[in-house]
Structure 1
Amino acid sequence: MTTPDPRAPLAPLDPRRTALVLIDLMDRIVAHELAPHSGPEVVTASLKLAEDFRAAGAPVVAVRVERPGVAEQPPGSELLAEVEAVADEVVVKRTIGAFQDTGLHELLRARGVETLVFTGIATNLGVESSARAAADRGYRLVFVEDAMTGLTEAEHRASVDLDFPRLGEVVAAADLRLG
Protein backbone atom coordinates (compact mmCIF):
# COMPACT_ATOMS: atom_id res chain seq x y z
CA MET A 1 0.00 0.00 0.00
CA THR A 2 1.40 3.40 -0.95
CA THR A 3 1.02 6.47 1.20
CA PRO A 4 -0.59 9.47 -0.54
CA ASP A 5 1.77 12.33 -1.28
CA PRO A 6 0.85 15.12 1.20
CA ARG A 7 1.84 17.69 -1.42
CA ALA A 8 -0.51 16.22 -4.02
CA PRO A 9 -3.29 18.59 -5.09
CA LEU A 10 -6.56 18.14 -3.26
CA ALA A 11 -9.33 16.58 -5.35
CA PRO A 12 -12.16 19.00 -6.16
CA LEU A 13 -14.60 19.43 -3.28
CA ASP A 14 -18.35 19.07 -3.76
CA PRO A 15 -19.78 22.57 -3.14
CA ARG A 16 -23.14 21.04 -2.10
CA ARG A 17 -21.42 19.27 0.79
CA THR A 18 -18.65 21.73 1.70
CA ALA A 19 -18.60 24.91 3.81
CA LEU A 20 -15.90 27.52 4.28
CA VAL A 21 -15.44 28.42 7.96
CA LEU A 22 -13.71 31.74 8.72
CA ILE A 23 -12.48 31.94 12.31
CA ASP A 24 -12.19 35.22 14.27
CA LEU A 25 -11.55 37.70 11.46
CA MET A 26 -12.25 40.65 13.74
CA ASP A 27 -10.48 44.02 13.93
CA ARG A 28 -8.95 43.41 17.34
CA ILE A 29 -7.59 40.01 16.32
CA VAL A 30 -6.46 40.85 12.78
CA ALA A 31 -4.53 43.83 14.21
CA HIS A 32 -2.23 41.62 16.35
CA GLU A 33 1.35 41.02 15.34
CA LEU A 34 0.97 37.59 13.74
CA ALA A 35 3.17 35.04 11.97
CA PRO A 36 3.94 33.63 9.49
CA HIS A 37 1.19 35.54 7.68
CA SER A 38 -0.08 38.99 8.64
CA GLY A 39 -3.69 39.54 9.61
CA PRO A 40 -4.42 41.47 6.39
CA GLU A 41 -2.88 38.64 4.32
CA VAL A 42 -5.16 36.12 6.01
CA VAL A 43 -8.19 38.34 5.45
CA THR A 44 -7.35 38.79 1.75
CA ALA A 45 -6.86 35.04 1.22
CA SER A 46 -10.03 34.22 3.17
CA LEU A 47 -12.12 36.72 1.21
CA LYS A 48 -10.86 35.30 -2.10
CA LEU A 49 -11.86 31.81 -0.96
CA ALA A 50 -15.24 33.13 0.23
CA GLU A 51 -15.83 34.65 -3.21
CA ASP A 52 -15.01 31.29 -4.86
CA PHE A 53 -17.25 29.37 -2.44
CA ARG A 54 -20.19 31.71 -2.95
CA ALA A 55 -19.79 31.53 -6.74
CA ALA A 56 -19.94 27.72 -6.47
CA GLY A 57 -23.01 27.83 -4.21
CA ALA A 58 -21.14 26.60 -1.12
CA PRO A 59 -21.93 28.23 2.23
CA VAL A 60 -19.55 30.59 4.00
CA VAL A 61 -19.74 30.69 7.80
CA ALA A 62 -17.98 33.45 9.73
CA VAL A 63 -17.28 32.83 13.41
CA ARG A 64 -16.45 35.52 15.94
CA VAL A 65 -15.69 35.33 19.62
CA GLU A 66 -17.31 37.21 22.49
CA ARG A 67 -16.03 37.29 26.03
CA PRO A 68 -18.65 35.72 28.30
CA GLY A 69 -19.98 37.56 31.32
CA VAL A 70 -18.98 41.09 30.34
CA ALA A 71 -21.43 43.93 29.84
CA GLU A 72 -19.62 45.31 26.81
CA GLN A 73 -17.27 43.60 24.35
CA PRO A 74 -13.83 45.13 23.76
CA PRO A 75 -13.51 47.55 20.84
CA GLY A 76 -13.00 45.75 17.54
CA SER A 77 -15.06 42.71 18.52
CA GLU A 78 -17.25 42.75 15.43
CA LEU A 79 -16.34 40.88 12.29
CA LEU A 80 -14.57 42.94 9.68
CA ALA A 81 -17.29 44.49 7.50
CA GLU A 82 -15.99 42.78 4.37
CA VAL A 83 -16.03 39.40 6.14
CA GLU A 84 -19.57 39.88 7.41
CA ALA A 85 -20.62 40.88 3.88
CA VAL A 86 -19.52 37.53 2.39
CA ALA A 87 -20.89 35.34 5.20
CA ASP A 88 -24.05 33.33 4.67
CA GLU A 89 -24.12 32.70 8.40
CA VAL A 90 -22.47 34.34 11.41
CA VAL A 91 -21.83 32.27 14.52
CA VAL A 92 -20.89 33.80 17.88
CA LYS A 93 -18.77 31.66 20.16
CA ARG A 94 -17.89 32.20 23.79
CA THR A 95 -15.19 29.53 24.01
CA ILE A 96 -12.03 28.93 21.99
CA GLY A 97 -13.79 26.56 19.58
CA ALA A 98 -16.76 27.28 17.33
CA PHE A 99 -18.96 24.30 18.22
CA GLN A 100 -19.64 24.58 21.97
CA ASP A 101 -23.21 25.87 22.50
CA THR A 102 -23.34 27.78 19.20
CA GLY A 103 -25.65 25.68 17.02
CA LEU A 104 -22.94 25.47 14.33
CA HIS A 105 -23.15 21.69 14.01
CA GLU A 106 -26.92 21.77 13.56
CA LEU A 107 -26.68 24.61 11.03
CA LEU A 108 -24.10 22.70 8.97
CA ARG A 109 -26.00 19.41 9.09
CA ALA A 110 -29.22 21.14 8.03
CA ARG A 111 -27.36 22.31 4.91
CA GLY A 112 -25.99 18.81 4.24
CA VAL A 113 -22.38 19.84 4.89
CA GLU A 114 -19.86 17.02 5.31
CA THR A 115 -16.58 18.84 4.61
CA LEU A 116 -15.26 21.95 6.35
CA VAL A 117 -12.54 24.18 4.93
CA PHE A 118 -10.90 26.29 7.65
CA THR A 119 -9.20 29.68 7.56
CA GLY A 120 -8.64 32.24 10.29
CA ILE A 121 -6.78 33.40 13.37
CA ALA A 122 -5.20 31.93 15.44
CA THR A 123 -4.16 28.67 13.82
CA ASN A 124 -3.37 26.89 17.08
CA LEU A 125 -6.26 28.32 19.08
CA GLY A 126 -9.62 29.08 17.45
CA VAL A 127 -8.94 27.17 14.24
CA GLU A 128 -7.49 24.06 15.88
CA SER A 129 -10.04 23.94 18.69
CA SER A 130 -12.89 24.23 16.16
CA ALA A 131 -11.28 21.60 13.94
CA ARG A 132 -10.89 19.10 16.76
CA ALA A 133 -14.57 19.47 17.66
CA ALA A 134 -15.51 19.12 13.98
CA ALA A 135 -13.42 15.96 13.68
CA ASP A 136 -15.19 14.54 16.73
CA ARG A 137 -18.48 15.14 14.90
CA GLY A 138 -17.34 13.31 11.79
CA TYR A 139 -16.60 16.13 9.35
CA ARG A 140 -13.92 15.84 6.70
CA LEU A 141 -11.46 18.69 7.31
CA VAL A 142 -9.34 20.84 5.00
CA PHE A 143 -6.95 23.50 6.30
CA VAL A 144 -5.81 26.36 4.08
CA GLU A 145 -2.31 27.02 5.39
CA ASP A 146 -1.82 30.42 3.76
CA ALA A 147 -5.24 31.66 4.90
CA MET A 148 -4.52 31.21 8.61
CA THR A 149 -1.86 32.42 11.00
CA GLY A 150 -0.76 32.29 14.61
CA LEU A 151 0.53 34.56 17.31
CA THR A 152 3.94 33.10 16.49
CA GLU A 153 5.26 31.15 13.52
CA ALA A 154 6.23 28.26 15.82
CA GLU A 155 2.65 27.91 17.08
CA HIS A 156 1.28 28.06 13.53
CA ARG A 157 3.82 25.50 12.26
CA ALA A 158 3.09 23.08 15.13
CA SER A 159 -0.59 22.97 14.18
CA VAL A 160 -0.04 22.89 10.42
CA ASP A 161 2.85 20.42 10.41
CA LEU A 162 2.02 18.15 13.35
CA ASP A 163 -1.67 18.29 14.27
CA PHE A 164 -3.66 19.16 11.15
CA PRO A 165 -2.30 16.30 8.99
CA ARG A 166 -3.73 13.92 11.62
CA LEU A 167 -7.15 15.58 11.40
CA GLY A 168 -7.48 16.30 7.70
CA GLU A 169 -5.71 17.72 4.68
CA VAL A 170 -3.48 20.80 4.59
CA VAL A 171 -3.43 22.77 1.34
CA ALA A 172 -2.45 26.12 -0.10
CA ALA A 173 -5.30 28.36 -1.23
CA ALA A 174 -4.17 28.00 -4.86
CA ASP A 175 -4.63 24.22 -4.65
CA LEU A 176 -8.22 24.30 -3.36
CA ARG A 177 -10.84 23.47 -5.99
CA LEU A 178 -14.61 23.25 -5.85
CA GLY A 179 -15.97 20.81 -8.42
Structure 2
Amino acid sequence: MNVNDQVNAALLLMDFQNGVVERLGTPQTLAAAADALAAARAAGVPVIHVRVGFRPGYPEVSPANQSFSAIATSGADLSEGGPATQVHADLAPADGETVVVKRRVSAFTGSDLEVVLRAQGVRTLVLGGIATSGVVLSTLREAADRDYRLVVLADACADADPEVHRVLTEKVFPRQAEVTTVARWTAAS
Protein backbone atom coordinates (compact mmCIF):
# COMPACT_ATOMS: atom_id res chain seq x y z
CA MET A 1 0.00 0.00 0.00
CA ASN A 2 1.34 3.36 -1.03
CA VAL A 3 1.00 6.56 1.02
CA ASN A 4 -0.81 8.21 -1.89
CA ASP A 5 -3.34 5.35 -2.09
CA GLN A 6 -4.41 5.51 1.52
CA VAL A 7 -7.94 6.59 2.13
CA ASN A 8 -9.12 6.66 5.74
CA ALA A 9 -5.58 6.03 6.97
CA ALA A 10 -3.49 7.60 9.72
CA LEU A 11 0.20 7.39 10.53
CA LEU A 12 0.81 6.53 14.19
CA LEU A 13 4.27 7.46 15.43
CA MET A 14 4.47 5.77 18.81
CA ASP A 15 6.79 6.34 21.75
CA PHE A 16 9.19 8.51 19.77
CA GLN A 17 9.63 10.48 22.95
CA ASN A 18 12.87 11.78 24.37
CA GLY A 19 13.39 9.16 27.09
CA VAL A 20 12.67 6.23 24.77
CA VAL A 21 14.64 7.56 21.80
CA GLU A 22 17.68 8.12 24.08
CA ARG A 23 17.61 4.49 25.25
CA LEU A 24 16.42 2.53 22.24
CA GLY A 25 16.33 4.75 19.18
CA THR A 26 18.86 4.70 16.38
CA PRO A 27 19.66 7.48 13.93
CA GLN A 28 18.38 5.24 11.12
CA THR A 29 15.05 4.61 12.83
CA LEU A 30 14.58 8.28 13.63
CA ALA A 31 15.42 9.23 10.01
CA ALA A 32 12.96 6.65 8.66
CA ALA A 33 10.22 7.94 10.97
CA ALA A 34 10.97 11.51 9.86
CA ASP A 35 10.68 10.44 6.21
CA ALA A 36 7.34 8.74 6.93
CA LEU A 37 6.16 11.86 8.75
CA ALA A 38 7.11 14.13 5.84
CA ALA A 39 5.42 11.82 3.32
CA ALA A 40 2.22 11.58 5.37
CA ARG A 41 2.06 15.35 5.75
CA ALA A 42 2.66 15.86 2.01
CA ALA A 43 -0.07 13.34 1.11
CA GLY A 44 -2.56 14.72 3.62
CA VAL A 45 -2.54 11.53 5.70
CA PRO A 46 -3.38 12.40 9.33
CA VAL A 47 -0.52 11.96 11.79
CA ILE A 48 -1.09 10.91 15.37
CA HIS A 49 1.79 11.09 17.83
CA VAL A 50 1.48 8.63 20.71
CA ARG A 51 3.48 8.93 23.90
CA VAL A 52 3.38 7.36 27.34
CA GLY A 53 3.08 9.56 30.41
CA PHE A 54 1.64 9.53 33.89
CA ARG A 55 0.14 11.89 36.42
CA PRO A 56 2.44 13.06 39.23
CA GLY A 57 2.87 10.26 41.75
CA TYR A 58 2.00 7.61 39.13
CA PRO A 59 -1.52 6.77 40.36
CA GLU A 60 -2.12 4.77 37.15
CA VAL A 61 0.74 2.37 37.90
CA SER A 62 -0.18 -0.79 39.76
CA PRO A 63 2.48 -2.54 41.84
CA ALA A 64 1.34 -5.70 40.03
CA ASN A 65 2.53 -4.29 36.69
CA GLN A 66 6.15 -5.45 36.54
CA SER A 67 7.33 -3.03 33.82
CA PHE A 68 5.62 0.14 34.91
CA SER A 69 6.04 -0.36 38.66
CA ALA A 70 9.81 -0.59 38.11
CA ILE A 71 9.72 2.70 36.21
CA ALA A 72 7.58 4.37 38.88
CA THR A 73 10.05 3.46 41.63
CA SER A 74 13.21 4.19 39.59
CA GLY A 75 13.15 7.93 40.19
CA ALA A 76 12.77 8.66 36.47
CA ASP A 77 10.38 11.47 35.63
CA LEU A 78 7.75 9.99 33.33
CA SER A 79 5.09 12.54 34.21
CA GLU A 80 2.98 13.79 31.31
CA GLY A 81 4.73 17.15 31.33
CA GLY A 82 8.27 15.91 31.93
CA PRO A 83 10.95 16.24 29.25
CA ALA A 84 11.40 12.45 28.89
CA THR A 85 7.78 12.02 27.76
CA GLN A 86 7.77 14.75 25.12
CA VAL A 87 7.87 13.90 21.41
CA HIS A 88 11.45 14.01 20.09
CA ALA A 89 12.29 17.29 18.34
CA ASP A 90 13.04 15.54 15.01
CA LEU A 91 9.39 14.41 14.88
CA ALA A 92 7.75 17.36 16.61
CA PRO A 93 4.00 17.57 16.05
CA ALA A 94 2.88 20.24 13.61
CA ASP A 95 -0.06 22.50 14.36
CA GLY A 96 -3.23 20.46 14.17
CA GLU A 97 -1.58 17.06 14.64
CA THR A 98 -3.01 14.99 17.44
CA VAL A 99 -0.89 13.90 20.39
CA VAL A 100 -2.31 10.98 22.37
CA VAL A 101 -1.04 10.18 25.86
CA LYS A 102 -1.35 6.53 26.87
CA ARG A 103 -0.93 4.85 30.25
CA ARG A 104 0.21 1.39 29.18
CA VAL A 105 2.14 -0.31 26.38
CA SER A 106 -0.61 -0.35 23.74
CA ALA A 107 -1.51 2.98 22.14
CA PHE A 108 -5.15 2.20 22.90
CA THR A 109 -4.90 1.45 26.62
CA GLY A 110 -5.63 4.38 28.86
CA SER A 111 -5.86 6.82 25.96
CA ASP A 112 -8.49 8.42 23.77
CA LEU A 113 -6.97 7.01 20.56
CA GLU A 114 -10.09 5.06 19.60
CA VAL A 115 -12.24 8.20 19.91
CA VAL A 116 -9.81 10.18 17.73
CA LEU A 117 -9.72 7.45 15.08
CA ARG A 118 -13.50 7.11 14.97
CA ALA A 119 -13.98 10.88 14.75
CA GLN A 120 -11.66 11.02 11.74
CA GLY A 121 -13.10 7.93 10.05
CA VAL A 122 -9.74 6.17 10.14
CA ARG A 123 -9.81 2.47 9.17
CA THR A 124 -6.13 1.90 8.27
CA LEU A 125 -3.29 2.39 10.75
CA VAL A 126 0.29 2.82 9.56
CA LEU A 127 2.56 2.03 12.50
CA GLY A 128 6.05 3.12 13.45
CA GLY A 129 7.43 3.05 16.96
CA ILE A 130 9.89 2.14 19.63
CA ALA A 131 9.91 -0.64 20.70
CA THR A 132 8.88 -3.23 18.16
CA SER A 133 8.25 -5.75 20.95
CA GLY A 134 6.41 -3.17 23.05
CA VAL A 135 4.14 -0.48 21.66
CA VAL A 136 4.18 -1.75 18.07
CA LEU A 137 3.32 -5.36 18.97
CA SER A 138 0.71 -4.40 21.57
CA THR A 139 -0.96 -1.79 19.36
CA LEU A 140 -0.93 -4.06 16.31
CA ARG A 141 -2.61 -6.90 18.21
CA GLU A 142 -5.27 -4.65 19.73
CA ALA A 143 -5.90 -2.83 16.44
CA ALA A 144 -6.28 -6.14 14.60
CA ASP A 145 -8.86 -7.23 17.17
CA ARG A 146 -10.67 -3.94 16.49
CA ASP A 147 -10.69 -4.73 12.73
CA TYR A 148 -8.32 -2.03 11.53
CA ARG A 149 -6.31 -2.59 8.38
CA LEU A 150 -2.64 -2.43 9.40
CA VAL A 151 0.64 -1.43 7.81
CA VAL A 152 3.93 -1.65 9.73
CA LEU A 153 6.90 0.45 8.60
CA ALA A 154 9.62 -1.98 9.70
CA ASP A 155 12.48 0.49 9.38
CA ALA A 156 10.55 3.08 11.42
CA CYS A 157 10.50 0.61 14.31
CA ALA A 158 13.33 -0.36 16.64
CA ASP A 159 13.88 -2.78 19.47
CA ALA A 160 16.62 -3.34 22.03
CA ASP A 161 16.99 -6.85 20.59
CA PRO A 162 17.51 -6.86 16.79
CA GLU A 163 16.56 -10.54 16.56
CA VAL A 164 13.22 -9.89 18.26
CA HIS A 165 12.62 -7.03 15.80
CA ARG A 166 13.44 -9.34 12.89
CA VAL A 167 11.19 -12.17 14.07
CA LEU A 168 8.28 -9.82 14.70
CA THR A 169 8.54 -7.95 11.39
CA GLU A 170 9.29 -11.01 9.27
CA LYS A 171 7.25 -13.76 10.91
CA VAL A 172 4.65 -12.46 13.39
CA PHE A 173 3.37 -9.13 12.04
CA PRO A 174 2.71 -10.36 8.46
CA ARG A 175 -0.10 -12.53 9.83
CA GLN A 176 -2.10 -9.40 10.66
CA ALA A 177 -0.46 -6.54 8.77
CA GLU A 178 1.31 -5.52 5.63
CA VAL A 179 4.96 -5.06 6.59
CA THR A 180 6.95 -2.70 4.40
CA THR A 181 9.64 -0.03 4.52
CA VAL A 182 9.20 3.71 4.55
CA ALA A 183 10.75 3.95 1.07
CA ARG A 184 8.25 1.48 -0.39
CA TRP A 185 5.38 3.15 1.46
CA THR A 186 6.33 6.61 0.20
CA ALA A 187 7.13 5.58 -3.39
CA ALA A 188 4.91 7.07 -6.07
CA SER A 189 2.57 4.60 -7.69
1:65 CA drift (Å): 0.7
**SS of corresponding position for 1:64:** strand
Going from structure 1 to structure 2, the CA distance change for 1:12 and 1:21 (only over 3 Å counts) comes to: closer
1:129 CA drift (Å): 0.3
Are the equivalent residues in 1 in contact too, given 2:9–2:126 (CA < 8 A)?
yes
1:82 CA drift (Å): 3.4
Does 2:163 correspond to 1:154?
Answer: yes
1:65 to 52, 76, 96: 52
Flag structure 1 segments of 5+ consecutive residues without an equivalent: 1-9
**How many residue pairs are counted as aligned between the two chains?**
166
Does 2:166 correspond to 1:175?
Answer: no
Q: Deviations along 1:80-117, whole A, 9 cap, x unmatched?
A: 13323347110001100010131111211211111111
Shifted more, 86-95 versus 135-144: the winner is 86-95
Residues 11-22 of structure 1 correspond to what in structure 2 (within 5 A)?
14-22=5-13
Residue identity over aligned pairs, in percent, reads 37
Q: For residue 87 of structure 2, what is the aligned residue in structure 1?
A: 79
- C-alpha RMSD of matched pairs (Å): 2.1
2:154 to 145, 162, 168: 145
Q: For residue 24 of structure 1, what is the aligned residue in structure 2?
A: 15
Q: For residue 61 of structure 2, what is the aligned residue in structure 1?
A: none
Q: For residue 6 of structure 1, what is the aligned residue in structure 2?
A: none
1:116 to 125, 128, 140: 125
Aligned AA for 2:47? V
**SS of corresponding position for 1:47:** helix
Say which structure is richer in helix. Answer: 2
Q: Deviations along 1:142-170, whole A, 9 cap, x unmatched?
A: 01111111011012112112210111111
Shifted more, 11-20 versus 121-130: the winner is 11-20
Q: For residue 134 of structure 2, what is the aligned residue in structure 1?
A: 125
Are the equivalent residues in 2 in contact too, given 1:15–1:53 (CA < 8 A)?
no
Superposition TM-score, scaled by structure 1 size: 0.83
Does 2:5 correspond to 1:51?
Answer: no
1:16 CA drift (Å): 3.5
Going from structure 1 to structure 2, the CA distance change for 1:12 and 1:79 (only over 3 Å counts) comes to: closer
Runs of 4+ in 1 over 3 A off after TM superposition: 10-16
